[in-house]
Structure 1
Amino acid sequence: MTTTLTAQSPEDILAAVPVVLGFHPQDSLVMLTFGALSFHARLDLSPPADADVPAGAVEALLAPSRRHGVDRVVFVVYSDDSDLAARLAAALVPAFVADGIGVVDVLRAHRGQWCSVPIRAGARESPPRPFDDTHHPFSAQAVFEGRVTLGSREELRATLEPDVERRARWAALVEDLPAPGPAEVARANALVAGWVESGADPDDAGAAAVLRAVSRLDVRDTALYAVTRDTVRDHLRVWVSLLRGAPDAQVPDTAAVTAFCAWQSGQGALAWCALDRCFEVDPEHRLGTCLAECLVRAVPPSAWEEGGPSDPAEPERTTGADGAARVRASQFPHDELHRDSA
């Protein structure tokens, strides 16, 4: 389901941000874009303010905006640091305008109040005004559509944290299974398909079989190709459950498939949280690295279905050895880009 939000005021913008991100950002720079194919981005801002943040923000946000023909943008700085917000505005606005991208506004939000950040040197912020993004019509629409908005990115990441009891049960079962062979491709696919169709959670024996098999490249590729627009949320539900019970050795592969499902469902923030878990165990995981590149480049989920056109400027896909996730160039609409602080 695609959520359409029509923002007509700063309060609308501020209410839209947690809906499109899936959580209420803190110490963040958020960019909402508008055009034929829009995407939304978030960057971490680490207190105390880092003098290099503005330059890094320009590089991180302008490149995908230029690449995807963005018409206009709005920036929201979630911070109590007015000087940082002013420096960000001073760095971002001229760069975007010079590139032909209109800047509708730069806002600073903190503790239920917002200000308009000055763009001209020496100008002052507007007086703070209250806003409520929890009782806004956008929030009600999100609830009606079944979209959950969490209090922070940490709460979002917590939805992927290990279930200790489940992991202990499954680890013991996985250890007793032999190394997976080619026959496990069909079996693992059938098990996941059954949970997707029935809406059931993975059972212990089946989960152990899938987790033992997911180390095979052909099992992972089959898992990726089984995901469709109609089934992506159910696939995500299943793989989140598997990730929360995965033993350490199976976490990278399981987390990468989970990240793929989150990306395909338009939940970029959740995809990054899954990749966090992947890279904690295997920082150079191949599929995870490919997906991270897709998120950084703002590649849209639709690029997965478009295949590999001959024009090198268009999205391209290869297959095999985790190459299925090697999609390049294009956009990633309706969600976030995320850069962790150094």
Structure 2
Amino acid sequence: MTPSDRPRLAVRSPADLIAAVPYLLGFHPADSVVVVALSGPRITFVARADLPRAADDPSPPARHLAEVVARQGVESATVIGYGAPTRVTPAVDAVRVAFAVTGLPVVDALRVTAGRWWSYLCAEPECCPPDGTPYDAQASAVPAAAVFAGQVALPDRAALAAQVAPASGTDTGGATARAELRLAELLGRARPLDRPVGPSDDRLLREAGVDALRVARRRQRDGGSLTDDEVAWLGLLLTYLPVRDHAWQRTDGRDADIALWTDVLRRADPELIAAPASLLAFAAWRAGQGALAAVALERALARHPTYSLALTVDDLLRRGVPPEVLDGWPAVELPGVVRRRRRRRGRTTR
């Protein structure tokens, strides 16, 4: 689910809209149903879902998609299905029915298959021939305008997921072991996990976490990158909720936030990815990059399925909560989420 507050792209035809969708999503969709929602003539929200399998009922995911889009306060929508007609047509029909229930007008419904597009709402052979209309995305002015505006369309969703995949050439195991020894020395223990963190440890952990985050942001601002040891140290400290929440309160939708947490996520030990993956997802959601937020959450929840911040951001995405509700963050509350005020102690994977 992606709010579209990026530079405007001039869309004058179905072919232009098809050419624009990959830049609105961040990747070229396949076997997907995409809803492009508008307020007046302006695209304000884009949502994508996988096509249901042939044996599955397309109605439940269609209803969810329609409810999410309708929640944005938009005025109309275009539905585009990508893939074989046997799978696209039932999915698009189900979405159209779901939108009829919500009362949101569907301007057009299209199928894109093998370099051609068809309209489900137009039967005029002059503009919508039965054999489909061939299109060449590169013949549209939209891709050039999008690239000029700094927008990127990756080949597919797998390429987007690869951007948050573990980096090669990182001394993850050795760096994590050194970070745990450093933590043991900080807390004055024989081993870092001998006993739960107590009140006397809170101040040391928070100060270390604040300092590690400050170092990371300064290094990034100066055009450098963290060492493997610095990534492991920051990742380990983020397992303590006061440190994680300090980082969360200082994470918004800035490019610097996305770059920092992407780097830490890719280079952190798998046992330490829950916090950086969730912080990346939060930053991406705030920036209107719902697809990036989703792949970051997939990494977090695959390894840590009960991690609270990942589940919170996942819920925001699934409900289609627009990121502007947090304008002024962290001075505003997350919608539908009660933030606990009391201090928590202890190392946690929540």
Does 2:90 match 1:87? yes
Structure 1 residue aligned with 2:250, among 223, 226, 244? 226
Aligned 8 A contact 2:51 2:88 in 1: no
- Aligned-residue offset at 1:184: 1.8
What TM-score results when the alignment is normalised by the length of structure 1?
0.82
Aligned 8 A contact 1:90 1:119 in 2: no
Q: Name the residue aligned to 2:325.
A: 303
Does 2:179 match 1:174? yes
Q: Name the residue aligned to 2:102.
A: 99
Aligned 8 A contact 1:162 1:244 in 2: yes
Q: Name the residue aligned to 1:275.
A: 297
Task: Give the direction of change, closer, same or farther, for the CA distance of 1:125–1:238 in structure 2 (3 Å limit).
Answer: same
- Which amino acid in structure 1 is aligned with residue 314 of structure 2? A
Q: Name the residue aligned to 2:186.
A: none
Alignment of 1:236-255 (within 5 A): 236-255=258-277
Aligned 8 A contact 1:218 1:321 in 2: no
Q: How many residues align?
A: 313
5+ unaligned residues in a row in structure 1: which ranges? 324-342
In structure 2, distance between residues paired with 1:197 and 1:181: 24
Structure 1 residue aligned with 2:215, among 174, 191, 194? 191
Aligned 8 A contact 1:25 1:152 in 2: yes
Q: Name the residue aligned to 1:24.
A: 28
Q: Which has the larger radius of gyration?
A: 2
Aligned 8 A contact 2:62 2:94 in 1: yes
Cα displacement string for residues 23-49 of structure 1 (whole angstroms, at most 9, x for unaligned residues): 0011000001012793211111155x2
- Aligned-residue offset at 1:204: 2.7
Does 2:166 match 1:162? yes
- Aligned-residue offset at 1:130: 1.6
Task: Give the direction of change, closer, same or farther, for the CA distance of 1:214–1:134 in structure 2 (3 Å limit).
Answer: farther
Aligned-partner SS, 1:108: strand
Aligned 8 A contact 2:63 2:95 in 1: no
Does 2:229 match 1:205? yes
Aligned 8 A contact 1:107 1:116 in 2: yes
What TM-score results when the alignment is normalised by the length of structure 2?
0.80
Task: Give the direction of change, closer, same or farther, for the CA distance of 1:302–1:199 in structure 2 (3 Å limit).
Answer: farther
Aligned-partner SS, 1:73: strand
Aligned 8 A contact 2:67 2:102 in 1: no
Aligned-partner SS, 2:273: helix
Aligned-partner SS, 1:23: coil
- Which amino acid in structure 1 is aligned with residue 51 of structure 2? L
In structure 1, distance between residues paired with 2:233 and 2:306: 25
Task: Give the direction of change, closer, same or farther, for the CA distance of 1:201–1:240 in structure 2 (3 Å limit).
Answer: same
In structure 1, distance between residues paired with 2:47 and 2:341: 30
Q: Name the residue aligned to 1:61.
A: 65
Q: Name the residue aligned to 2:50.
A: 44
Aligned 8 A contact 2:81 2:112 in 1: yes
Structure 2 residue aligned with 1:34, among 38, 50, 70? 38
Aligned 8 A contact 2:71 2:320 in 1: no
Cα displacement string for residues 205-243 of structure 1 (whole angstroms, at most 9, x for unaligned residues): 3222211111111222221222345xx111111111111
In structure 2, distance between residues paired with 1:309 and 1:184: 24
- Which amino acid in structure 2 is aligned with residue 170 of structure 1? A
- Which amino acid in structure 2 is aligned with residue 177 of structure 1? R
Using the TM superposition, name which of 29-38 and 11-20 deviates more: 29-38
Aligned 8 A contact 2:176 2:229 in 1: no
